[in-house]
Amino acid sequence: MSKNETTSGSGRRKREAGPSPHQDPQSAAGGELHQIAGGEHAALTTNQGVPLSDNQNSLRANPRGPTLLEDFILREKITHFDHERIPERIVHARATGAHGFFELTESLEAYTRARVLTEVGEKTPVFTRISTVAGGAGSVDTPRDVRGFAVKFYTKEGNWDLVGNNIPVFFIQDAIKFPDLIHAVKMEPDRGFPQAASAHDTFWDFISLTPESMHMVMWVMSDRTLPRSLRMIEGFGVHSFRLVNDAGESTFVKFHWRPKLGLQSTIWDETVKIAGADPDFHRRDMFEAIAAGAFPEWDLAVQLFTEEEADGFPFDHLDATKLIPEELVPLKIIGRMVLDRWPNNFFAETEQVAYCPSHVVPGIDFSNDPLLQGRLLSYHDTQLSRLGTPNFHQIPINAPKCPFGNQQRDGQMQMEQPVGRIAYEPNSLSEDSPRESPAGGFRSAAVAETGEKGRVRAESFADHYSQARQFYVSQTAHEQAHIASALVFELSRVEHLHVREAIVGHLRNIDEDLAQRVGAGLALGKMPKAPAAAAPVQDMAPSPALQIIGKMKDTLTGRAVGILIADGSDGAVIEKVRKAATDAGAAVKIVAPKVGGANLADGSLMAADGQLAGTPSVLFDAVALILSAEAAKTLSTEGAAIDFVRDAFGHLKAIAADKGGQALLEIAHVGQDAGVVGTSDEDAFIAAAKTRQWDREKSVRTLA
């Protein structure tokens, strides 16, 4: 059997262009698919044996309308998926969480009645959980992966969960495809690997057949999925929500978290080595920052726009594979979040916390985004499975900090002890039982919906490539090279040639140069044809806001500097470099061949924060080498020392070195450039340490 064919069920299959045989003809424009042909295939059915006519689209009131509760196919598929694993989360299992507060700095009273967004100066308690998506709870912190970014606001009017990611778009347009996406990216079921990785056949096969995913793929292959620290990532609510004011008027809103430390990522080789050196790298970084009082902080910003403004966008804002460029709708900063307290118990809080997008407060409402509509069902159902009870809201980390009460009773793990004979509403037998609040209670936005229901996807969802193109052309040349190289790496681990070719074909619809670079990296003998696009591909204006390098802050705050010392090192030079780095805001750690420290030239003992073999340079943003000539000679036969300096140079970091340090660099055959400076020029070292030496990259590795 050729690598272009695989066996599945009762016969062979191969990919051919055309709509799915099970797809509603009306939906073809919104999600072109490839027909599975060759051989007889059993009908795709529900668990009750009902054949499916469309497995791509949820049932909606109209093409851009809300998803209908009567969609038993969606409910069965999502519910089964939610209950596949217990008790670990199926996705977002590996996480770091912390307590803190949100402080509103600018009121949105004109747009919403939600007090958390109208009472300036009010500090609302929050619990924030940041997670990887694909790996299990025991996987490492640093795979190439999306990061979940979920914030629970304990407001005066109840809990509000803003559940998003560090990327503003998603792979799919409709929640009915979420189980398929996660099944594809998770470990392959016949072999149980790879863990926490997308570089395998099933993921890329799914992507090749789902062109709506190509925008998200650009983000995932970028450095956004290799964060230096969880304190240096952005967060996005992803979907359009609605804000509703006292007059009942609604305005669309997208939520953005912007880190005060700015964005920073690692590079791939560095990330791989960090995973081996410290699987808990991100969790440890957050823990140590909070313990040191360097509290992680983000600004909360919003994009506000009306229905009329949305109608003028060159894309559909209800499509979760699209973002709204900041140049089109500027961000408005309205508050800040500070994380200042680590959980007392990881399991009780970080593991048991339950986020649901359906948890909103009066003044915040939903849009018709079909991915969001499915999430409103899925998350609550997942918590029932994971935590085993409808009373999961009584677990302390989930409980509102405002009064709450209703007539719900009993159930597994019921912690409350309601008194009295009343367990229903309305009633006339109790004067103090909870009642409706017509004036202040939650009201949905009054939105008229008309049209014919059906399994359809709006024509406005059909453009799958324009924003993917915009993202790519908005990157710096270095970031474009990283995207191309990431695609080559991932696709090189895909066994099936036809899948590799299909992805390169999609890339031709995004950017021909990108496709050629990836094709050359895969040694494709002939470039595959680009698939027909369901909608014309637009050339949207580049958006510098989509970069990382262009948005890096000129700071060492929140960064780490490692100083390598050994017996005979000059204590005065060590202190001079340490002071310069700490004055610039960096954390400094002393690394020595032995964990007990080193005897300095003046005979004093300097304690070490880490032992050389277990504290490689990948754990730092910049390094200094302060060594005697004798120590440099001794370390020249130590592989960990050679790797320390070679990796620092190869990962484009600033290096400060005294005479002995320079000797070690020469022994390790490490080159010289503007980022390698003497310890006597601490200003030059600090300036170089605030960024990467990007021009060095072409001399240390081959990129696509």
What are the catalytic residues? Answer: 92, 165
The whole-angstrom separation of Cα 36 and Cα 321 is 25
The whole-angstrom separation of Cα 550 and Cα 542 is 13
| Helix H or strand E segment including 341 | strand 332-341
The whole-angstrom separation of Cα 654 and Cα 50 is 63
User: Are 266 and 227 a contacting pair, CB within 8 Å?
Assistant: yes
The whole-angstrom separation of Cα 364 and Cα 354 is 19
For the record, the structure tokens of 495 come out as 């066994």
> Is the alpha carbon torsion for 122, 127, 128, 134 positive or negative?
negative
Distance of CA 278 to CAs 273, 423, 567, Å? 9, 53, 26
SS3 of 511, please? coil
Burial of 143 from C-beta contacts in 10 A (0-12 / 13-18 / 19+): buried
Cα torsion at 95, 281, 132, 102 (round to 10°)?
60
Distance of CA 425 to CAs 213, 419, 443, 613, Å? 46, 15, 19, 67
Q: For 527, which DSSP code?
A: P
The whole-angstrom separation of Cα 643 and Cα 269 is 13
Distance of CA 569 to CAs 563, 577, 686, Å? 11, 13, 21
Q: What one-letter code names the amino acid at 368? A: N
Nearest to 256 by CA among 310, 183, 336: 336
The whole-angstrom separation of Cα 89 and Cα 353 is 11
> Is the alpha carbon torsion for 483, 516, 171, 472 positive or negative?
positive
User: Are 63 and 458 a contacting pair, CB within 8 Å?
Assistant: yes
Start-end of H helices in 475-625? 477-492, 497-510, 512-521, 571-583
Q: What are the DSSP E strand ranges found in 3-70? A: 6-8, 11-17, 34-37
Distance of CA 415 to CAs 348, 394, 396, 632, Å? 16, 7, 11, 64
Distance of CA 511 to CAs 219, 534, 610, Å? 15, 17, 46
Question: Concatenated DSSP letters for 113-168?
Answer: --GGGTSTT-EEEEEEEEEESSS-TTS-S-SS--EEEEEEEEETTEEEEEEEESSS
Provide the pairing of β-strand 297-305 with 598-599: unpaired
Residues 6+ apart with CB under 8 A from 464: 211, 212, 213, 214, 215, 321, 533, 534, 535
